[in-house]
Amino acid sequence: MGSGVSFGPAGSPSKVGGGAGCPVGILGDVTPSRPQFDPPGTPPGDEAAPEADRHVLLAGHVLFAVLLALGAVRAAMASSTPVVPVLAALAAAGWYCVGAVWVSRRRGRIARLWLAGLILIWLGLVALSGEFVWLAFLLALLVWHLFPVRAAIPIEVTIALAAAIGFAAHQGRWVAGAVFGPVIGVACAAVMTEIYQRLRAQSDERRRLLDELMRTQQALAIREREAGRLAERERLAREIHDTVGQSLASVIMLLRAALRPSTPTDRSEQLHTALDTAIGALAETRRFVLGLNPAALERDGLTQALRSLADDSSGLGLRTDFEQHGTPHVVPIDVQVALLRVAQEALSNARRHAAADSATMTLTYQDDEVSIDVVDDGVGFDPAALNGPRSDGTGYGLTAMRSRLAERGGDVTVESEAGAGTAVRATIPVDPDTAAEEADT
C-alpha cells in the first residue's frame, strides 16, 4: 500500500516517517478525536515514526490485504460469476490505496468521508458474499480512530449489525456465533484502539515532559555558568584591586612626590621606594596568577605580615603603628588573607584619600573571632554617601572589603565623619579547634 496510512492518535504525524498511534489508521492533518500531547514546536510529519509504529502500520496493511484477498478468493470459488467479487475486491483495494496516498494528506473531514466510502464499499462486498464480513474488524479500528466518540459508537453498532445480518442472510439462518462474533470483534477493536491511543498519549506526554525537563536543565546550566562567570569576575576584580591596584597607586604617589622640588637624597629614596613597591607588586601578581597566598603570610604568619605592612605604610608617608591584643591562636589561611587585604585597603585609602598623618592598626584575638581595626586621623567622609563603585572605577575598596568578609561569615564596619578621621573594623568568626585541624592537614 501507500505510505500515508498511520496508526497514531488523531492529530499526530501520520505518514511513514511521521508519528503513529492506533492500528490501521488513515491520518494526516486529521482533527483530533481523542486527547493527545505533542512535543511543543513539533510540526506534524516532521518527527520520525518509532520502529514499533512502523511495524503496526505494516501489520495493518498486511491484515487488510490478507482479509480482502481471502474473502475475494473464497467468494469467487463459491460464486457462479467469480469475476464480480474479484472486481469488487479490487475496487475496495483501490479505494484503500486512495486513503493511504491521498486522503491522509487532507484534513479530518476528508479522511472521514473516505472512511464512509470504504464502509459503503464493504457493505457492497458483504451483500455479494459473507466471506467479506471479517473486514468489519479493521473498519471498527478505523472508525474509533477517526471519529469522535459520540459518532463512533453508533457507527460501530451499525457495522456489527451489518456484519451479523449479512452473514446470517448468506447462511440462510441465524447462528449464535454469527451474531456474537462480529459484535465481540467490533467491541474488541474499539477497546484495543482506545487503549493504544491512551498509551500513545501518555508516551507523548512523557516525551514532552522530558523535553521540558531538558530545556529547564539547559537553562539552569546556562544560568549557573553565567553566575560562575560573574563570581569569577568579581573575585578577579577584588584581587587585582587589592594587589596590583594598590601597589600602582602607591607607585604613582611616590613618583609624583619625586617630581616635586626636593633634595636629591629625598628624590632617590622616593624612587627606590617606588621601585621596591613595583617589584613587590609584580611578585604578588605572579603569585596571584598561580593561585598562591601572599608571600608574607606564608613566610611570616599574620602578625608579622601586618607588622611589615605597617612598616611599609610608614615608608610611604603614613606613620602607622601596629598593636596586638588577646592570645594568638591558629587562624585559617583564608581568614588571614581576608584580614590582610582589609588592612591594606584601609591604609591605602588613608594615604590616598584621607590626607591622614598617622594610623593605628590593631589585631585582636578572641576565642571565637579575629578582628582588625584601622583608625586614621584623616579628613573623614560620609559612609552612607558611598553606595558602590563610581563611574570612574574608584570607590570599589569598601565593596571589595565587605564581599571578601561576607564569604567567610564576617563583617566590616566603617565609622567616619568629616574632620574626625575614619575607623574600619573587620571581624571574622573562627573555631580554634577547626582551624588547628586545618593547620595540621
Select from 32, 30, 28, 29 the least CA-distant residue to 15: 28
Q: Which residues pair with 324 in a beta bridge?
A: 363
Domains and CATH numbers, the chain: 5-216 (no CATH), 299-441 (3.30.565.10)
d(CA 117, CA 111): 10
Who contacts 400 (Cβ-Cβ below 8 Å, separation ≥6)? 237, 238, 241, 242, 341, 345
Give the up-direction half-sphere exposure of residue 384: CA atoms within 13 A in the CB hemisphere.
2
Q: What are phi and psi of 394, to 5 degrees?
A: -90, 175
Rounded distance between C-alpha atoms, residue 342 and residue 408, angstroms: 13
- Sign for the CA dihedral angle at 175, 177, 182, 186 comes to positive
| Long-range contacts of residues 416-420, Cβ cutoff 8 Å, at least 24 apart | 416/380, 416/381, 416/382, 416/383, 417/380, 417/382, 418/379, 418/380, 418/381, 418/382, 419/379, 419/380, 420/380
Q: What is the pLDDT along the chain (441 residues), one digit of tens a residue?
A: 333 333 333 333 333 333 333 334 444 333 334 433 333 333 333 344 455 556 666 777 788 888 888 888 888 888 888 889 899 899 988 888 887 777 655 557 888 888 888 889 998 888 888 888 888 888 888 888 778 878 888 888 888 888 888 877 877 777 666 666 677 777 777 777 777 777 778 888 888 889 999 999 999 988 888 888 887 777 777 677 666 777 777 777 778 777 777 777 777 777 877 787 787 777 777 666 655 567 678 777 899 989 988 998 888 888 999 999 998 888 888 888 889 888 988 888 888 888 889 999 999 999 889 999 999 998 888 877 766 555 555 556 777 788 888 888 999 999 988 888 899 999 999 886 665 555 555
The pTM is what? 0.45
Burial 294-311 (b: 16+ CB within 10 A, else e): bebbeeeebeebbbebbe
Query: What b/e sequence results for 147-158 when a residue is b if at least 16 CB atoms lie within 10 Å of its CB, and e otherwise?
Result: beeeebeebbee
DSSP 32: P
Please tell me the distance from the alpha carbon of residue 68 to that of residue 90, in angstroms, as a whole number. Answer: 9
Cβ count near 406 (within 10 Å): 12
Helix (H, G, I), strand (E, B) or coil at 137: helix
Helix (H, G, I), strand (E, B) or coil at 360: strand
Phi-psi sector, 177: left (phi>0), alpha (psi -120 to 50), beta: alpha
Phi, psi of 413 (to 5 degrees): -120, 130
Closest-CA residue to 360 (of 344, 374, 342, 379): 374
> 4: which 3 cell numbers?
500515508
